[in-house]
Amino acid sequence: MTLAVHGSSVDIPTPDGTADAYLVHPESAGPHPGVLLYMDAFGLRPSLNGMADRIAAAGYTVLVPNVFYRAGRTPLVELPDFIGDDQRPAIFQTVLPVMRALTPELAVRDAGAYLDRLAAEPRAADGPIGVTGYCMGAGLALRTAVAYPDRVAAMAGFHGAQLASEAPDSPHLGADRITAELYFGHADQDAALPPEQIERLEKALTDAGVRHHAEVYAGAHHGYTQADTSSYDAEAAERHWTALLDLLGRALPTRRGAAL
Protein backbone atom coordinates (compact mmCIF):
# COMPACT_ATOMS: atom_id res chain seq x y z
CA MET A 1 0.00 0.00 0.00
CA THR A 2 1.29 3.45 -0.90
CA LEU A 3 0.78 6.54 1.20
CA ALA A 4 -0.94 9.76 0.15
CA VAL A 5 1.62 12.54 -0.24
CA HIS A 6 1.79 16.31 -0.19
CA GLY A 7 4.25 18.28 -2.32
CA SER A 8 5.16 21.96 -2.41
CA SER A 9 7.76 24.38 -3.69
CA VAL A 10 10.36 25.55 -1.17
CA ASP A 11 13.44 27.76 -1.16
CA ILE A 12 16.81 26.64 0.21
CA PRO A 13 19.34 29.21 1.41
CA THR A 14 22.86 28.40 0.20
CA PRO A 15 26.21 30.18 0.55
CA ASP A 16 25.72 31.47 -3.01
CA GLY A 17 22.05 32.42 -3.05
CA THR A 18 18.70 30.65 -2.93
CA ALA A 19 17.91 27.34 -4.58
CA ASP A 20 14.31 26.62 -5.48
CA ALA A 21 13.25 23.05 -4.80
CA TYR A 22 10.40 20.57 -4.62
CA LEU A 23 9.62 19.01 -1.23
CA VAL A 24 7.21 16.10 -0.85
CA HIS A 25 6.30 13.98 2.15
CA PRO A 26 3.59 11.53 3.23
CA GLU A 27 0.44 13.14 4.57
CA SER A 28 0.51 10.68 7.48
CA ALA A 29 2.13 11.58 10.77
CA GLY A 30 5.90 11.80 10.60
CA PRO A 31 8.71 12.30 10.78
CA HIS A 32 9.87 10.18 7.85
CA PRO A 33 13.43 9.33 6.72
CA GLY A 34 14.85 11.96 4.41
CA VAL A 35 15.87 11.45 0.80
CA LEU A 36 17.75 13.94 -1.38
CA LEU A 37 16.97 13.45 -5.07
CA TYR A 38 19.35 14.97 -7.61
CA MET A 39 17.85 15.94 -10.96
CA ASP A 40 19.04 15.13 -14.44
CA ALA A 41 20.11 17.88 -16.83
CA PHE A 42 16.52 18.69 -17.82
CA GLY A 43 15.83 19.90 -14.29
CA LEU A 44 12.77 20.14 -12.09
CA ARG A 45 9.56 19.38 -13.98
CA PRO A 46 6.33 17.44 -13.45
CA SER A 47 7.81 14.08 -14.41
CA LEU A 48 10.74 14.40 -12.00
CA ASN A 49 8.44 15.63 -9.25
CA GLY A 50 6.32 12.57 -9.89
CA MET A 51 9.34 10.37 -9.25
CA ALA A 52 9.86 12.14 -5.92
CA ASP A 53 6.18 11.57 -5.15
CA ARG A 54 6.63 7.83 -5.68
CA ILE A 55 9.52 7.72 -3.20
CA ALA A 56 7.51 9.75 -0.70
CA ALA A 57 4.57 7.38 -1.11
CA ALA A 58 6.86 4.62 0.16
CA GLY A 59 7.31 6.54 3.42
CA TYR A 60 10.01 9.19 2.86
CA THR A 61 10.38 12.96 2.92
CA VAL A 62 12.02 13.89 -0.37
CA LEU A 63 13.82 17.08 -1.40
CA VAL A 64 14.58 17.81 -5.08
CA PRO A 65 16.72 20.95 -5.46
CA ASN A 66 17.27 22.94 -8.64
CA VAL A 67 21.04 22.50 -8.76
CA PHE A 68 21.24 25.12 -11.53
CA TYR A 69 19.83 27.85 -9.27
CA ARG A 70 22.79 30.16 -9.89
CA ALA A 71 21.57 30.52 -13.47
CA GLY A 72 17.96 31.15 -12.43
CA ARG A 73 14.87 29.57 -11.01
CA THR A 74 13.09 26.67 -12.65
CA PRO A 75 12.55 26.42 -15.56
CA LEU A 76 15.80 27.57 -17.09
CA VAL A 77 14.47 26.49 -20.48
CA GLU A 78 10.92 25.78 -21.54
CA LEU A 79 10.51 22.04 -21.98
CA PRO A 80 7.96 20.21 -24.08
CA ASP A 81 5.73 17.67 -22.37
CA PHE A 82 7.75 14.97 -24.12
CA ILE A 83 11.45 15.49 -24.85
CA GLY A 84 12.28 13.81 -28.13
CA ASP A 85 15.61 13.45 -29.87
CA ASP A 86 14.87 16.43 -32.09
CA GLN A 87 14.43 18.78 -29.12
CA ARG A 88 17.62 17.81 -27.30
CA PRO A 89 20.14 19.94 -29.25
CA ALA A 90 18.34 23.21 -28.56
CA ILE A 91 17.81 22.34 -24.89
CA PHE A 92 21.44 21.38 -24.35
CA GLN A 93 22.66 24.54 -26.06
CA THR A 94 21.28 26.35 -23.01
CA VAL A 95 21.93 23.71 -20.37
CA LEU A 96 25.49 22.59 -21.14
CA PRO A 97 27.21 25.85 -20.09
CA VAL A 98 25.26 25.77 -16.82
CA MET A 99 26.25 22.15 -16.21
CA ARG A 100 29.91 22.99 -16.77
CA ALA A 101 29.69 25.93 -14.37
CA LEU A 102 28.62 23.62 -11.54
CA THR A 103 32.10 22.64 -10.40
CA PRO A 104 32.71 19.81 -7.93
CA GLU A 105 33.57 22.38 -5.26
CA LEU A 106 30.28 24.23 -5.76
CA ALA A 107 28.32 20.98 -5.88
CA VAL A 108 29.74 19.82 -2.56
CA ARG A 109 29.08 23.20 -0.95
CA ASP A 110 25.51 23.13 -2.20
CA ALA A 111 25.04 19.59 -0.92
CA GLY A 112 25.70 20.81 2.60
CA ALA A 113 22.88 23.35 2.24
CA TYR A 114 20.49 20.69 0.89
CA LEU A 115 21.33 18.36 3.77
CA ASP A 116 20.81 21.21 6.25
CA ARG A 117 17.38 21.92 4.74
CA LEU A 118 16.33 18.30 5.18
CA ALA A 119 17.72 18.27 8.72
CA ALA A 120 15.62 21.34 9.56
CA GLU A 121 12.44 19.89 8.01
CA PRO A 122 9.95 18.81 10.72
CA ARG A 123 8.63 16.05 8.42
CA ALA A 124 12.11 14.56 8.02
CA ALA A 125 13.49 12.19 10.65
CA ASP A 126 16.73 12.93 12.44
CA GLY A 127 19.84 11.11 11.36
CA PRO A 128 21.44 10.07 8.07
CA ILE A 129 19.49 10.24 4.84
CA GLY A 130 19.34 8.54 1.45
CA VAL A 131 20.56 10.17 -1.76
CA THR A 132 19.63 9.22 -5.31
CA GLY A 133 20.53 10.81 -8.62
CA TYR A 134 19.90 10.48 -12.34
CA CYS A 135 22.29 11.17 -15.23
CA MET A 136 24.42 14.08 -14.00
CA GLY A 137 22.62 13.73 -10.68
CA ALA A 138 24.24 10.34 -10.08
CA GLY A 139 27.61 12.06 -9.96
CA LEU A 140 26.26 14.68 -7.57
CA ALA A 141 24.86 11.91 -5.37
CA LEU A 142 28.22 10.14 -5.31
CA ARG A 143 30.04 13.36 -4.43
CA THR A 144 27.58 13.93 -1.59
CA ALA A 145 28.21 10.45 -0.17
CA VAL A 146 31.95 11.13 -0.34
CA ALA A 147 31.83 14.61 1.20
CA TYR A 148 29.29 13.90 3.97
CA PRO A 149 29.83 10.28 5.04
CA ASP A 150 28.29 10.80 8.47
CA ARG A 151 25.08 12.20 6.93
CA VAL A 152 24.41 9.71 4.12
CA ALA A 153 23.32 6.13 4.86
CA ALA A 154 22.40 5.07 1.32
CA MET A 155 23.22 6.34 -2.15
CA ALA A 156 21.88 5.24 -5.53
CA GLY A 157 22.81 6.36 -9.02
CA PHE A 158 21.10 5.54 -12.30
CA HIS A 159 22.50 5.97 -15.80
CA GLY A 160 25.21 8.16 -14.31
CA ALA A 161 27.67 10.14 -16.41
CA GLN A 162 31.45 10.38 -15.95
CA LEU A 163 31.44 8.63 -12.58
CA ALA A 164 34.96 7.25 -12.94
CA SER A 165 36.79 9.29 -15.55
CA GLU A 166 40.52 9.98 -15.67
CA ALA A 167 39.98 13.55 -14.47
CA PRO A 168 41.79 14.48 -11.24
CA ASP A 169 38.47 15.38 -9.62
CA SER A 170 36.48 12.33 -10.76
CA PRO A 171 33.95 11.42 -8.04
CA HIS A 172 35.13 7.80 -7.71
CA LEU A 173 38.45 8.96 -6.29
CA GLY A 174 36.82 9.65 -2.94
CA ALA A 175 35.58 6.08 -2.48
CA ASP A 176 37.66 5.54 0.65
CA ARG A 177 35.57 8.15 2.50
CA ILE A 178 32.20 6.52 1.83
CA THR A 179 30.34 4.80 4.66
CA ALA A 180 26.93 4.52 2.95
CA GLU A 181 25.60 1.48 1.11
CA LEU A 182 25.61 2.14 -2.65
CA TYR A 183 23.68 0.88 -5.65
CA PHE A 184 24.28 1.68 -9.32
CA GLY A 185 22.02 0.86 -12.24
CA HIS A 186 24.13 1.46 -15.33
CA ALA A 187 22.82 1.55 -18.89
CA ASP A 188 24.75 -0.60 -21.33
CA GLN A 189 23.94 1.74 -24.23
CA ASP A 190 25.52 4.75 -22.56
CA ALA A 191 28.41 6.68 -24.04
CA ALA A 192 28.51 8.83 -20.89
CA LEU A 193 29.71 5.84 -18.84
CA PRO A 194 31.64 3.40 -21.07
CA PRO A 195 32.68 -0.07 -19.84
CA GLU A 196 36.13 1.08 -18.78
CA GLN A 197 34.59 3.61 -16.40
CA ILE A 198 32.18 1.01 -14.99
CA GLU A 199 35.19 -1.24 -14.30
CA ARG A 200 37.18 1.63 -12.77
CA LEU A 201 34.28 2.54 -10.48
CA GLU A 202 33.82 -1.07 -9.41
CA LYS A 203 37.50 -1.44 -8.59
CA ALA A 204 37.59 1.80 -6.57
CA LEU A 205 34.56 0.81 -4.50
CA THR A 206 35.78 -2.76 -3.96
CA ASP A 207 39.29 -1.66 -3.00
CA ALA A 208 37.82 0.82 -0.52
CA GLY A 209 35.59 -1.84 1.06
CA VAL A 210 32.39 0.06 0.22
CA ARG A 211 29.16 -1.92 0.53
CA HIS A 212 27.77 -1.72 -2.97
CA HIS A 213 26.03 -3.48 -5.80
CA ALA A 214 26.16 -2.44 -9.45
CA GLU A 215 24.22 -3.79 -12.38
CA VAL A 216 24.27 -3.07 -16.09
CA TYR A 217 20.75 -2.95 -17.51
CA ALA A 218 20.86 -4.74 -20.85
CA GLY A 219 19.41 -2.75 -23.73
CA ALA A 220 18.84 0.38 -21.62
CA HIS A 221 19.96 3.79 -22.84
CA HIS A 222 21.18 6.84 -20.97
CA GLY A 223 18.10 8.37 -19.34
CA TYR A 224 16.08 5.16 -19.21
CA THR A 225 14.24 6.19 -16.02
CA GLN A 226 12.86 9.45 -17.40
CA ALA A 227 9.29 8.84 -18.61
CA ASP A 228 8.97 12.19 -20.37
CA THR A 229 11.90 11.52 -22.72
CA SER A 230 12.56 9.33 -25.74
CA SER A 231 15.19 7.41 -23.71
CA TYR A 232 12.58 5.94 -21.40
CA ASP A 233 12.55 2.17 -20.96
CA ALA A 234 9.56 1.03 -18.90
CA GLU A 235 11.04 -2.34 -17.95
CA ALA A 236 14.38 -0.89 -16.91
CA ALA A 237 12.65 1.94 -15.04
CA GLU A 238 10.59 -0.51 -12.97
CA ARG A 239 13.74 -2.49 -12.24
CA HIS A 240 15.30 0.72 -10.98
CA TRP A 241 12.35 1.37 -8.68
CA THR A 242 12.68 -2.06 -7.12
CA ALA A 243 16.41 -1.60 -6.54
CA LEU A 244 16.08 1.94 -5.17
CA LEU A 245 13.26 1.19 -2.74
CA ASP A 246 14.97 -2.00 -1.58
CA LEU A 247 18.13 -0.01 -0.82
CA LEU A 248 16.23 2.70 1.04
CA GLY A 249 14.25 0.09 2.94
CA ARG A 250 17.44 -1.58 4.19
CA ALA A 251 19.29 1.59 5.13
CA LEU A 252 16.36 3.80 6.18
CA PRO A 253 13.43 1.73 7.45
CA THR A 254 10.19 3.70 7.53
CA ARG A 255 7.36 3.94 10.04
CA ARG A 256 4.73 3.08 7.45
CA GLY A 257 3.21 0.42 9.64
CA ALA A 258 2.70 2.88 12.47
CA ALA A 259 1.44 5.52 10.05
CA LEU A 260 -1.11 3.18 8.56
What are the catalytic residues?
Answer: 135, 190, 222
Q: Are 222 and 191 in contact (CB under 8 A)?
A: yes
- The residues, any chain, with a CB within 8 Å of residue 97's CB and separated by 6 or more, are none
200 DSSP assignment: H
CA 83 to each of CA 89, 90, 233: distance values in angstroms, whole numbers, following the listed order: 11, 11, 14
What would you report as the CA-atom Rg of the chain, rounded to the nearest whole angstrom? Answer: 17
Q: Concatenate the DSSP letters of all residues of 154-186 into one string.
A: EEEEES-SSSS-SSTT-GGGGGGG--SEEEEEE
Task: Count the Cβ atoms, other than its own, within 10 Å of residue 57.
Answer: 18
Q: Are 222 and 159 in contact (CB under 8 A)?
A: yes
